[in-house]
């Protein structure tokens, strides 16, 4: 084996600031009964959607702490939408992030989606367990960036 490759952040010093916007989405598949409990506000740990939204916002703001080579950037707006999808037996999460920066916000949007979905999972675990303590119907899927834009400031 040769010498290890260098690990460093990408130098964005010479890039101009621009309005950066990215949207990511993902799903968590849950049992129909669990979705009903979420809708009716009967999940023991509390309000699933409010908790997941707050988790997403916090994660977006801290993305560079979790993704080691990501630049810490000023976040100017975060929108989080959670919606029950009856046909898919799932909760869909969509996170849109904006910043005026020299680099994009795709990672921040993805981290927000992941945090929201993980919080839904955590809050709904007792409702999803089977007799062996496993989660055969529960799956986090389809996480991806669905759009990104860069708008020059000048």
pLDDT at 63 over 80: yes
Residue ranges of the domains in the chain?
18-152
CATH code of 18-152, in short, is 3.30.70.640
pLDDT at 2 over 70: no
Residue of 77, 78, 75 whose CA lies nearest to 115: 78
Report the catalytic residues: 122
Kindly report, residue by residue over 76-134, the tens digit of the pLDDT: 999 999 999 999 999 999 999 999 999 999 999 999 999 999 999 999 999 999 999 99
Helix or strand (DSSP H, E) at 84: strand 77-85
pLDDT band of residue 49 (cuts 50, 70, 90) is very high
**What is the DSSP code (8-state) at residue 37?**
H
Q: Report yes or no: 109 and 22 within 8 Å, Cβ to Cβ.
A: yes
Q: Which two tokens stand for residue 132?
A: 């062996």
């Amino acid at each position: 084996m040769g010498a290890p490759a260098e690990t460093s952040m990408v130098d964005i010093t010479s890039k101009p600031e621009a309005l950066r916007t990215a949207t990511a989405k993902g799903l968590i598949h849950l049992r129909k009964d669990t979705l009903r409990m979420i809708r009716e506000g009967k999940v023991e740990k509390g309000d699933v959607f409010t908790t997941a939204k707050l988790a997403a916002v916090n994660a977006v703001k801290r993305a560079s702490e979790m993704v080691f080579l990501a630049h810490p950037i000023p976040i100017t707006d975060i929108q989080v939408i959670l919606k029950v999808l009856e046909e898919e037996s799932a909760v869909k999460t969509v996170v849109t992030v904006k910043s005026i920066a020299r680099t994009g916000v795709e990672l921040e949007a993805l981290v927000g989606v992941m945090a929201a979905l993980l919080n839904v999972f955590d809050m709904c675990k007792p409702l999803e367990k089977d007799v062996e303590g496993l989660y055969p119907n529960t799956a986090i899927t389809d996480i991806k960036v669905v759009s990104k834009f860069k708008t020059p400031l000048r």
